[in-house]
Amino acid sequence: MHFKRVRIVFALALALAALLTGCSKKPDQSFAEAHDAFQTKLVREENDSDPIPDPPEGVFDLVSYPSKVGDLAAYVSSDPGDGQKHPMIIWVVGGWGNGIDEFPWTYPEWDNDQTGSAFWQAGVLTMYPSFRGGSGNPGHYEALFGEVDDIVSAYEYAASLPYVDPNRIYLGGHSTGGTRALLASEYTDKFRAVFCFGAVDEVKYHNNSQFTFDTSNQEEYTMRSPIHWLQDVKSPTFLIEGSEGNAENLQNMEKASKNENISCYLVEGADHFAALGPVTHLLAQKILADTGAECGITLSMDEIHTAMTQEPPALTPVMVPYTVENVGVSFRCPYQWDAEDISEEGETDLLFSSRFEGDNAWDMGSMYFYAYTDGMTGDAAELAAYLADQGYEVQETTVSGLPAVDGEGWEQSSSGENFYNRFVIVLKDDLCIEFNFYLHESYGDAGNAMFQTMIDSIALA
């Protein structure tokens, strides 16, 4: 009777503690068990029908992956077509939205690159899942609950692809995406490694205007707060945050965790965003080198410091094909560029410019495409001499087997700013086909590398 009475008192104490904290977590109950047994209550049924843009052809495919609530949309790297199995990372972007758009290939600033694009730029296959309630998907926003199930479903889909190595599927995310990734790491050990940038510890202190669940029930918070389940992480999991970001959240989890699978990194002098670009580039290389039977990825503060102090890598935007049908010419141009028809009678004139305003060469650059007849066509030497007289540096060349001139120079705006001007004029019969690029001088080599990629792709019927 004595021992029975002690057990009863102990059980009552546990029940009282659970009542006081609002948590009905049972002793030794894993997060997966608690999550699967819990039924969230949504007090607001929210979703969206935001359109999903077509991805750049040959780079990503728009697919549907099955989940508990139905088929959900995702962007997935296209099959490399080499018959090999490759590593893949599932990247969960920040913010509370559950949809996907063209954000992954818009390349924001180096000190705020939330896109995860460093992975696919380096050759790591990448999946960007949408979640329940987003982009016309079935279901509703569950604010960090059902979305965990969706991440597991995304893993199952990725593992089923014939060109993906199911033993080398990684998970990463930033901010809300980092919190989702950490919860998924607590739920399942399927991921080879998990990278969480700026995850929070207790969600009840963050963005409560986004919560669609019953906020009077403390257990709803517990099921969405990673700090309660850190002991369940079995995959190598890396928590990274800037000292000027959500540093306290990282420090709280580091103090609470006794799990050797969790590693924490506080990046001095960085905010919530600054470590993303440098460290994702570092992690991409580590993933490519991680070819053993078990995950061998390690990360040190020295490596992070080196990554943070390096110059940003030279990048080329995603290029997609474009054809000017009536001229019989095709070329590749940045995915972000749209063509505006500015033709005058007897000519074909198009202005290519970005629909975004990013601080980079492809968003700030532009190209004029002209096709016109000119008295000097057919004679590249004569055309080159004429342009040289106008102050351009010009050389004769060939493009798609046709005579052409390639020149560069500078133009000054009325405000005194200098703009780099590169052009290629191809001579086809009695037609001049001109590619005329403009870019502010501050973008330097990155712009010229992009222009050269376009020039090298020119083909004429």
Domain covering 18-309 assigned CATH 3.40.50.1820 in the classification: yes
Among candidate residues 168, 226, 220, 167, the one with its CA nearest the CA of residue 196? 226
Averaged pLDDT for residues 380-387: 84
Residue 187: which H helix or E strand, with range? Answer: helix 176-187
- Please report, as a single letter, which amino acid is at residue 358: G
- Mean of the pLDDT values across residues 416-439? 92
- Superfamily of domain 319-460 in CATH is Mog1/PsbP, alpha/beta/alpha sandwich (3.40.1000.10)
Cα-trace Rg, the chain: 27
Confidence of residue 10 (pLDDT cuts 50, 70, 90): very low
Please give the pLDDT value at position 15: 45
Burial class of residue 410 (count of CB atoms within 10 Å of its CB; 0-12, 13-18, 19+):
exposed
Q: How confident is the model at residue 78 (pLDDT cuts 50, 70, 90)?
A: very high
Say yes or no to pLDDT of 259 above 50: yes
The pLDDT value recorded for residue 9 is 45
Cα 238 from Cα 261, distance rounded (Å): 8
* pLDDT (0 to 100) of residue 25: 60
Report the alpha-carbon distance of residue 319 to residue 337 in Å, rounded. 9
pLDDT at 355 over 60: yes
Average pLDDT over residues 121-130: 97
Amino acid at 333: C
Give which of 418, 424, 412 is closest to 455, Cα–Cα: 424
Angle between helices 301-309 and 276-289 (to 10 degrees): 120
Contact (CB, 8 A) for 251 and 227: no
| SS3 state at 45 | coil
CA-to-CA separations, 409 to 76, 348, 367, 414, in angstroms, rounded: 41, 24, 15, 17
- Predicted confidence (pLDDT) at residue 59 exceeds the cutoff of 90: yes
What pLDDT shows up at residue 86? 98
Contacts 24+ apart (CB under 8 A), 411-414: 411/438
Asked whether the predicted pLDDT for residue 393 surpasses 50, the reply is: yes
Domains 18-309 and 319-460 share a fold: no
- Tell me the pTM: 0.87
Across 140-149, 375-384, 388-397, 435-444, least confident range: 375-384
**Contact criterion met (CB below 8 Å) for 273 and 93:** no
Among residues of the chain, what percentage have pLDDT more than 70?
93
Beta strands in 245-401, from DSSP E residues, in sequence order: 262-267, 319-324, 329-334, 337-341, 348-354, 366-373, 393-399
What residue ranges do the domains of the chain occupy?
18-309, 319-460
Nearest to 199 by CA among 103, 128, 263: 263
